[in-house]
A = this chain, B = another copy of it.
Amino acid sequence: MALGTDYSGQDCSLARALELVGERWTPLILRDAFVGVRRYRDFLAHLDIPRAVLAARLQALVDAGVMTKVRYQDAPPRDEYVLTAKGRELWPALHLLSQWGERHLSELGPRRVYTHLPCGSRLEAGRCPSCGTVRPEDVEVRLGPGAVTSRTDAVSVALREPRRLLEPLRTS
């Protein structure tokens, strides 16, 4: 269970991208960010990730300009981690990889169903078959027939309700 990332010597934008978002846990942190998770506590509860690794990954994402820390309360001071525009552009890539997994690794049917709300189409290949490219804000996620609802942490429970991408999750 170790995944370092450093592909120096590869003159390749894929390698550069993987050094940022290819590390262990990072794609799942981003997935959670897209479905609305913003707080350290919620990432921790939903991912079962070591605290030190989570702190390091969030810091790396902030340093890379993929997320920003936003203060949402002053007493006591609390920050949320929110995707930047650069980070939000990762959604098609993450979604396509996820769809590949749905097709080939999900025997009971899709675990999540993505709908483009303005037109009602199901998303394919990270975009709407009728409208072209799609903004994550316009996408609705809900559980599909292949979903397994075994987790009982507050974040997993809250995420069972249909919701829009990027809509902040509230668990408290």
Are A4 and B17 within 8 A (Cβ)? no
What B residues does A100 contact at CB under 8 A?
17, 89-90, 93
C-beta contact mask, A95-110 vs B, less than 8 Å → 1, else 0? 0111111111110001
Q: In the complex this chain forms, how many copies of it are found?
A: 2
- Please name all residues of chain B whose beta carbon is closer than 8 Å to the beta carbon of A133 when the two chains form the complex: 125
Query: Distance (Å) between the CB of A74 and the closest chain B CB?
Result: 32
Query: Of all chain B residues, which has the CB nearest A127?
Result: B125
- Interface, chain A (partner B; CB < 8 A): 1-7, 9-18, 20-24, 27-28, 31, 47-48, 65, 86, 89-90, 92-94, 96-106, 110-112, 125-127, 133, 146-151
A sample of 8 more A-B contacts (CB under 8 A), given A13-B102, A17-B98, is: A1-B4, A11-B151, A12-B111, A13-B106, A17-B97, A18-B27, A86-B104, A96-B96
Closest 10 CB pairs of A and B: A3-B3, A2-B2, A1-B4, A13-B101, A17-B101, A93-B96, A14-B98, A93-B97, A16-B105, A13-B102
